[in-house]
């Protein structure tokens, strides 16, 4: 008995990030006070006694917000802020200082801080600033997510493909492992749409999106809606026989799990990335996409419903 993926609705939206904070101050009493405040707000946090220790913790862990004193020995808050923004631009930074004459609000905001708070401060003010930064980070994550996704299938979009294939080709070239690209097309999709209606056509494309997500290696392979009824799958660290098995699994599961009604099928073109040292990498990428596309065309010309591998 097969299970249909046709009515599977993708869950839109990025995973919620852990709301974890790092507090930095060379005064143990201030660290203790900040810790009491954050614990009362319900947030997880770690503490660092100086800028160098803070950077070590930031490199080793994930933090959404850093709350730092400005006047500290060896590395002051402004230097720490600049170092954070160089390597971890998405981290929000709240600068806390009792020396408002040394650094102005404008100075720290221009340097990349999310907000500024003067000593003495109360818990309500601190909580309000933290909550505002979290809201802004959530909105930014959602906008970034939507800009990279196809809203119908919840797969990555063509813009994301163009960026990802460059990254994977560079990594494959540098680390010396094989990289394959599969282009997939729903055969006779226009006829399917004309016969059963656009709503059923959309359901079929959503099913393909679910099929790709469930049949590829998590955090290794990447699936994209390439355009219309065409899809792309990037298969890093994959030998030819493994790429063939992945393509076959997708081909067979399409017929078994998606509402194709016997009128549509899957054609797949498969090609391996070839790096030619005398050519720019961009040319090799164009060549890879062209060869995968020609293999897909040959699959359709040979009668559809098959996999063709570029030689």
The per-residue pLDDT for 11 is 46
Q: How far is CA 44 from CA 21, 28, 58, 80, 120, in A?
A: 6, 18, 14, 21, 23
Summarised one tens digit per residue, pLDDT across range 272-310 is 999 999 999 999 999 999 999 999 999 999 999 999 999
Distance CA 42, CA 73 (A): 30
What 3-state DSSP class applies to 124? helix
Distance CA 300, CA 309 (A): 13
Q: What is the domain partition of the chain in residue ranges?
A: 20-145, 158-309
Summarised one tens digit per residue, pLDDT across range 223-233 is 999 999 999 99
162 in catalytic set:
no
Summarised one tens digit per residue, pLDDT across range 117-172 is 988 888 999 999 999 999 999 999 899 888 999 999 999 999 999 999 999 999 99
Distance CA 37, CA 196 (A): 60
Class of domain 158-309: alpha beta
pTM of the model: 0.70
Summarised one tens digit per residue, pLDDT across range 167-196 is 999 999 999 999 999 999 999 999 999 999
Residue 52 has pLDDT above 90, yes or no: yes
The per-residue pLDDT for 311 is 82
CATH topology of domain 20-145: Rossmann fold (3.40.50)
Catalytic site residue from 187, 203, 229, 293: 229
Strand order in the sheet with 44-48: 44-48, 20-24, 65-69, 92-97, 115-118
Distance CA 24, CA 2 (A): 56
Distance CA 134, CA 144 (A): 15
């Amino acid at each position: 008995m097969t299970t249909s993926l046709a009515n599977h609705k993708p869950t839109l939206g990025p995973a919620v990030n852990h709301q974890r904070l790092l507090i930095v101050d060379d005064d143990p009493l201030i660290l203790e006070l900040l810790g009491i405040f954050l614990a009362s707000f319900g947030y997880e946090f770690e503490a660092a006694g100086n800028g160098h220790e803070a950077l070590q913790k930031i490199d080793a862990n994930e933090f959404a917000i850093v709350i730092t004193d400005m006047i500290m020995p060896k590395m002051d808050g402004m230097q720490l802020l600049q170092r954070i923004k160089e390597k971890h631009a998405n981290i929000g930074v709240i600068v806390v200082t009792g020396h408002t004459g040394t650094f102005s609000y404008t100075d720290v905001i221009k340097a990349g801080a999310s907000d500024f708070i003067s000593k003495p401060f109360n818990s309500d003010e601190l909580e309000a600033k933290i909550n505002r930064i979290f809201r802004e980070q959530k909105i930014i994550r959602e906008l970034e997510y939507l800009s990279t996704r196809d809203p119908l299938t919840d797969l990555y979009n063509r813009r994301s493909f163009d960026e990802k294939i460059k990254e994977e080709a560079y990594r494959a070239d540098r680390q010396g492992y094989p990289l394959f690209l599969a282009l997939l097309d729903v055969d006779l999709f226009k006829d399917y749409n004309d016969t059963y209606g656009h709503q059923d056509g959309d359901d079929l494309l959503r099913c393909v999106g679910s099929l790709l997500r469930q049949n590829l290696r998590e955090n290794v392979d990447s699936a994209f809606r390439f355009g219309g009824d065409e899809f792309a799958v990037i298969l890093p660290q994959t030998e030819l026989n493994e790429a063939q098995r992945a393509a076959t699994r997708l081909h067979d599961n399409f017929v078994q799990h998606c509402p194709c009604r016997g009128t549509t099928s899957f054609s797949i073109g498969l090609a391996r990335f070839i790096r030619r040292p005398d050519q720019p990498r961009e040319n090799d990428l164009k060549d890879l996409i062209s060869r995968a596309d020609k293999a897909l065309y040959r699959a359709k010309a040979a009668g559809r419903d098959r996999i063709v591998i570029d030689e």
